[in-house]
């Protein structure tokens, strides 16, 4: 089987989606040819471009150059069974559809929607009002992206259902393909450590679905326990506000840290007693399994996260995760107390998470799922 991976898709190690799909395909014997053009690879960088007129002009000039370069690469590419427009693919799915029509090529056209624009910008982050002209244009544009593809990929069954309903697609044209971990997958054993001070870790981008405010409120309920320490790692939309809230409440056991280099992240996660997932109440929270959970499973450590339909596709409470209601700081505080006091339960969850990472979240399994989706 031969597949062409096409577009300006992100290839940095901090954004594992495309790298994992390509590696997963190759682990299953697929010949993957890449037609790639480097252009503002990260979501954060693309968001920053919007705020800078000079960078925005530079980006659009780069976008024009990408159309020319990728057209040339398409013309020189071998015959393939499928072409995947990697995320972010919304600028190039129409181009590839047109090139297929123009050159009369026969292949399955696959669009990895992964982080839907409308859902992310309007529903989750609230950066635009849903009734604004720009929001409606984004919705119409994204609907056309999905409809031009033979197959759309996204990360959970719950997210598949959202795309089907939001853009009027048939369920057969949308497939769930898990993301996989950012860190190296090391499944030697589960990791349960015990420190004199119980160390709790959160890693994330400080967006609303993460529910950092829920974590901070839970810490208030735990104020009577001096043997806990929280490390909140990352940066993003709400970090400054969350730091101000922690200062206002006078937390002495909370540290805000910048990003840990990806090559050190696995060992860093394994050095903590407990990891935290997501706890927000935005609509997107119910539809995703965040990257941090894939990393937690790859590291084989115990964790707490919100009990959502997407999480329930893979995880069971007390077996490979500790699940609590979303948006509930009291429940989070009680879960932390419970796991602090019960090392055996931490070990059971860590072992279950490790087996999940080694099984359905492994790169080979992800690649196999993608092959089956393309061939169905």
- Closest to 272 (Cα-Cα) out of 306, 236, 304: 304
The pLDDT, as a whole number, for residue 56 is: 79
Determine the topology of domain 198-358 in CATH. Rossmann fold (3.40.50)
Q: pLDDT-based confidence at 39, cuts 50/70/90?
A: confident
List C-alpha distances in Å: 197 to 127, 250, 268, 274. 39, 19, 16, 12
Same fold, 2-180+362-375 and 198-358: yes
Whole-angstrom distance, CA of residue 109 vs CA of residue 74: 13
Give the three-state DSSP class for 155: coil
CATH annotation of 2-180+362-375: 3.40.50.2000
The pLDDT, as a whole number, for residue 313 is: 98
Token pair 């084989």: residue = 300
Per the prediction, the chain carries an average pLDDT of 93
Whole-angstrom distance, CA of residue 3 vs CA of residue 174: 18
Q: Look at residue 42 and tell me whether its pLDDT is greater than 60.
A: no
Whole-angstrom distance, CA of residue 10 vs CA of residue 91: 13
- Locate the domains of the chain by residue range: 2-180+362-375, 198-358
Q: What are the pLDDT digits (tens) for 298-347?
A: 999 999 999 999 999 999 999 999 999 999 999 999 999 999 999 999 99
Whole-structure pTM value: 0.92
């Amino acid at each position: 089987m031969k597949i062409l991976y096409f577009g300006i898709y992100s290839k940095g190690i901090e954004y594992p989606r495309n790298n994992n799909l390509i590696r997963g395909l190759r682990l299953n014997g697929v010949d993957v040819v890449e037609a790639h053009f480097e252009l503002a690879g990260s979501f954060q960088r693309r968001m920053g471009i919007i705020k800078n007129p000079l960078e925005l002009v530079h980006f659009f000039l780069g976008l024009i150059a990408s159309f020319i370069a990728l057209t040339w690469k398409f013309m020189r590419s071998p015959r393939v069974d499928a072409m995947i427009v990697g995320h972010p693919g919304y600028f190039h799915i129409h181009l590839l559809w047109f090139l297929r029509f123009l050159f009369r090529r026969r292949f399955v056209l696959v669009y990895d929607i992964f982080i839907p624009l409308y859902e992310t910008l309007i529903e989750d982050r609230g950066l635009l009002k849903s009734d604004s002209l720009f929001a409606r244009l984004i919705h119409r544009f994204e609907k056309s992206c999905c409809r031009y593809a033979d197959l759309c990929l996204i990360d959970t069954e719950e997210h598949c259902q959202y795309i089907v309903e939001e853009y009027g697609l048939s369920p057969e044209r949308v497939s769930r393909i898990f993301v996989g971990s950012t860190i190296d997958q090391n499944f030697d054993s589960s990791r349960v450590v015990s420190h004199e001070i119980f160390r709790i870790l959160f890693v994330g981008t400080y967006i609303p679905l993460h529910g950092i405010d829920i974590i901070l409120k839970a810490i208030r309920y735990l104020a009577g326990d001096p043997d806990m320490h929280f490390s909140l790692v990352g940066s993003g939309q709400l970090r400054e506000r969350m730091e101000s809230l922690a200062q206002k409440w006078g937390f002495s056991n909370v540290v805000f840290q910048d990003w840990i280099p990806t090559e050190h992240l696995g060992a860093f996660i394994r050095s903590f007693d407990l990891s935290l997932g997501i706890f927000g109440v935005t609509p997107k929270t119910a539809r995703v399994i965040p990257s941090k959970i894939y990393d937690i499973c790859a590291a084989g450590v115990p964790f707490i996260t919100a009990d959502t339909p997407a999480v329930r596709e893979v995880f069971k409470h007390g077996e490979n995760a500790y699940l609590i209601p979303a948006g509930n700081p009291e429940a989070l505080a009680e879960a932390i107390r419970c796991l602090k006091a019960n090392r055996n339960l931490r070990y059971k969850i860590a072992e279950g998470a490790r087996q999940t990472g080694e099984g359905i979240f492994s790169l080979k399994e992800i690649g196999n799922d993608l092959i089956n989706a393309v061939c169905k």
